[in-house]
Amino acid sequence: MGKHLLFLFWLLLLSGIAQAQDLLVKQNGEEVQVKVMEITPTLITYKRFDNPEGPLISVYKSEVFMIRYANGSKEIITPQQPQTQQPAAGRPIMPTDGSVVPGDADPAFDPIHLSGPRLGFTILSGAVVDKAKDQFSLNPFITQFGWQFETRIFRLPNGTSGLFEFVPLIGGLEQGKFIPSVNGLIGIRGKNGFEFGIGPNLTPVSANIALAIGTSFQAYGVNFPVNFAVVPGNGGARFSLLFGFNSRRR
């Protein structure tokens, strides 16, 4: 009987220890065992459960989906919404029957802006090669340097994001040329970083559609995007590989 009581005591002790931790679930599905220290309108501050004497860590509330506390209660994290105000003159009043007029619903998440340098190269194919050689004395391999401006328009609870990217580039510097181009892409990014987009590609001599796929890696709050783009048309195609880094613009 004494052994059974001792075994039961250890089970209860281990169960209490297991329940003494909070669980932080991020929008991308990652789960972290933590001890939540503070929640502000924009940040959640915590210590890792496996390192209680370690530093305080803060994450944006927009990156967190849910917190399950040690007592078993759960809290779904949503961005702070502005206080309800009386509708201004001329503004449509929200219906009271539970329906939502498009454009009047509260946004899922506030837009997030990122920016950073991009570099890579473009390879010409087909008739584009001959045109580049004859008219511009260009080799089919062209380096690219530019800047990426990204706006994350929304992010769903499952981690899927809607994006708009504006990427101006300068090509041909290695050949003594100055060839500007502008790309505007509308796309979707999954919770694991894979993304695809489509949009216009404009140069001084052409206007085409660009198709792009890519992914992003993250370390210490910095994103490292890698993208492959194809611009068809003009009897051939242009293939570009771009990479760089970006971070949130305050």
What CA–CA distance (Å, rounded) separates 7 from 245?
A: 54
Backbone angles phi, psi at 46, to 5 degrees: -150, 170
Angle at alpha carbon of residue 74, lines to 69 and 77, rounded to 5°: 105
Give per-10-residue mean pLDDT for the chain (250 aa). Answer: 54 50 83 88 87 86 87 77 47 46 50 88 90 86 95 81 93 93 94 90 91 86 89 88 81
Q: Is residue 82 part of a domain?
A: no
Domain, as residue range, for 50: 2-76
Task: Specify the pLDDT at position 7.
Answer: 54
d(CA 124, CA 115): 27
| Ordered strands of the 74-76 beta sheet | 57-60, 43-48, 31-39, 22-26, 64-68, 74-76
Same domain, 120 and 238: yes
Overall number of domains in the chain: 2
Residue 72 and residue 116 share a domain = no
**Is residue 147 located within the same domain as residue 243?**
yes
User: Is position 101 within any domain?
Assistant: no
Please tell me whether residues 66 and 136 are part of one structural domain: no
> Is 33 within the bounds of a domain?
yes
How far from 177 is each of 132, 138, 172, 182, CA to CA, in Å?
12, 8, 5, 16
- The pLDDT value recorded for residue 182 is 96
In this structure, the dihedral spanned by the alpha carbons of residues 68, 72, 76 and 77, taken in order and rounded to 10 degrees, is: -50
In CATH, what number is assigned to the domain containing residue 44?
2.30.30.100
Residue matched to tokens 């501050």: 45
The residue out of 49, 76, 103 marking a domain boundary is: 76
pLDDT at 240: 96
CATH of the domain at 151: 2.40.160
Residue 83 lies in a domain: no
